[in-house]
Amino acid sequence: MRKLFAGLAGLALIAAAAAWVLSAPRPLDETIISDLTGDAEAGRVIFLASGCSSCHRGGARDSDPLVLAGGRSFESDFGTFRAPNISPDPDHGIGTWTQSEFINAVMRGISPDGAHYYPAFPYTSYIRARPQDIADLYAYIMTLPADATPSEPHDLGFPFNIRRTVGLWKTLFLTDDWTVTGTLTEEEERGRYLAEALSHCAECHTPRNALGALDRDQWNMGAPNPSGRGRIPAIAGPDFNWSAFDVSAYLSSGLTPEFDVVGGSMADVVNNLRQLDKSENDAIAAYITRANE
Amino acid sequence: MTLKTFFGTCALGLTLALPALAETDPAVAQRKGQFQLYLHNFGVMGAMVQGRMDYDAALAQTAADNLFHITRHDQSRLWPEGTDSASIEGTRANPAIWDNLDDFVSKFVDLQNAAENLQSQAGNGLDALQPAFGATAGTCQACHEAYRDEAS
């Protein structure tokens, strides 16, 4: 009996050790990212394409998209996430972060003190970004106004309130693979980069499994709205039949082919993307329609 | 337009709505019809702005005239209490409308003003139509951002 108990305790110890190892943060190779030099002007395009301000602007409906004060709430099955202050404020924002810390936060979901971020922050998409683009983004965000609003804590249930569990989640689900593969034109490839790495369309338009990971077999085919009534519409699959012209026009005007006008959380996306060169929205449209062939 | 005229019969609407909560208030279908008529006219100008059809001054002017008049339709019986998406099925009207009536009405007045300007520009060529159309779409978006649920 004592032997059995010792054996079980040993197994539990091994399992705990394995879980600890599997849940450890795995940052990017420092030699790749520390020497990059960011260009703020190029970073503005990354900022708009990536939709940072859609979540990180202040909580008021008409808050300035360039003041990344945080405070917006996002309901989910796991609890309520609250976007933090990522303005360059040294005390309440990210003003003291190094470029490497920023890139690891955005592309690996790891905080400067080594904790995991929850995948409500779409590093699950940004992992596919080019480190140079994120260095540019860092340079741009550091030019934006500082704001001293304190970040608010998330409100999550057990066991999701233990950040280390996110490490196991990452081991299971975090991947830098593209979902749409095959031979792509140059424009489709740019569109895939924008859509799958930066603009993170799939994070809302794709349904999730019980653990909150994207169901990549139903890529962009529409999903329940996690934070309110109604559904996030399909932008792929049998229920979606827009042309590339329709998609590009929508992203740069907010007008559907029926001339309904965008609302809800997509309005923030359009407010960002309409500031990009038309060729960028054409590229996303080429990708979206190519993915649907 | 004041809040009082917009919701002049709000109290009446409330008393009428209460017994009808079990079934959808007919006002919901009527106000949806109003938005369909916006689209019916807005879309003609949108198609011209996006180059989906050639600019036609007479057609654009007629559509803008219609939109002007439809946005003057009295709203007082279209938004009774209890016809929000938390209370009934079949509407995307967020309850926040009734929590922020002043703001909702002011956004409607923005639409009215934009439609008036659009009416004055729509027949003056595509270059005149485009910005006036864009400004009108912006007033639609401002309200949809704040007060319309995702479609189900």
Task: Specify if A14 maps to a domain.
Answer: no
Q: Using one digit for the tens of pLDDT, what is the confidence trace for A220-255? A: 999 999 877 889 999 999 989 999 999 999 999 999
Range(s) of the domain holding residue A260? 186-291
Q: A65 with A159, same domain?
A: yes
Q: DSSP state, A79?
A: E
Task: Specify if B31 maps to a domain.
Answer: yes
CA distance A275 to A47: 11
Report the residue of B91, B107, B133, B141 to disrupt the A interface, i.e. the one with the largest count of A CBs within 10 Å: B141
In this predicted complex, what is the ipTM?
0.86
CATH of residue A73's domain is 1.10.760.10
Q: A29 with A169, same domain?
A: yes
**Which residues of chain B lie closer than 8 angstroms to A65, CB-CB?**
none
Task: Give me the number of domains chain B comprises.
Answer: 1
pLDDT of residue B23: 60
The four Cα atoms A176, A75, A228, A231 give a dihedral, to 10 degrees, of 20
Torsion sign, CA atoms B29, B32, B34, B39: negative
- Encoded amino acid at B108, one letter: F
A261 forms beta bridges with: A255
Final residue before a domain boundary, out of A116, A145, A173: A173
Nearest beta carbon to residue A260 from set B39, B50, B152: B39
Q: A85 with A224, same domain?
A: no
Task: Specify if B44 maps to a domain.
Answer: yes
Q: A141 with A112, same domain?
A: yes
CATH of residue B99's domain is 1.20.120.10
| Triad A233, A235, A237: Cα angle to 5° | 105
- The distance of A265 to chain B (nearest Cα, Å) reads 7
HEC secondary structure over A176-205: CCCCCCCCCCHHHHHHHHHHHHHCCCHHHH
CA distance A192 to A183: 12
Q: Using one digit for the tens of pLDDT, what is the confidence trace for A61-119? A: 889 999 999 999 999 989 999 999 999 999 999 999 999 999 999 999 999 999 999 99
Task: Specify if B139 maps to a domain.
Answer: yes
Which chain B residue shows the shortest CA-CA distance from A222? B152
3-state secondary structure of B88: coil
Task: Specify if B11 maps to a domain.
Answer: no
- Digits of tens for pLDDT over chain B (152 positions)? 555 556 544 444 444 444 444 467 889 999 999 999 999 999 999 999 999 999 999 999 999 999 999 999 999 999 999 999 999 989 999 999 999 999 999 999 999 999 999 999 999 999 999 999 999 999 999 999 999 999 88
Range(s) of the domain holding residue B135? 26-75+87-147
Task: Give me the number of domains chain A comprises.
Answer: 2
Task: Specify if B52 maps to a domain.
Answer: yes
A73 forms beta bridges with: A82
Q: A147 with A253, same domain?
A: no
Rg (C-alpha) for chain B, rounded Å, is 17
Q: A162 with A230, same domain?
A: no
The answer to whether B75 and B6 are in contact (CB under 8 A) is yes
Task: Specify if A7 maps to a domain.
Answer: no
Final residue before a domain boundary, out of A173, A195, A226: A173
DSSP H or E segment with residue B129: helix B126-147
Final residue before a domain boundary, out of A116, A139, A173: A173
Q: A99 with A149, same domain?
A: yes
Query: Is A231 close to B150, i.e. CB distance below 8 A?
Result: yes
Query: Is B141 close to A233, i.e. CB distance below 8 A?
Result: no
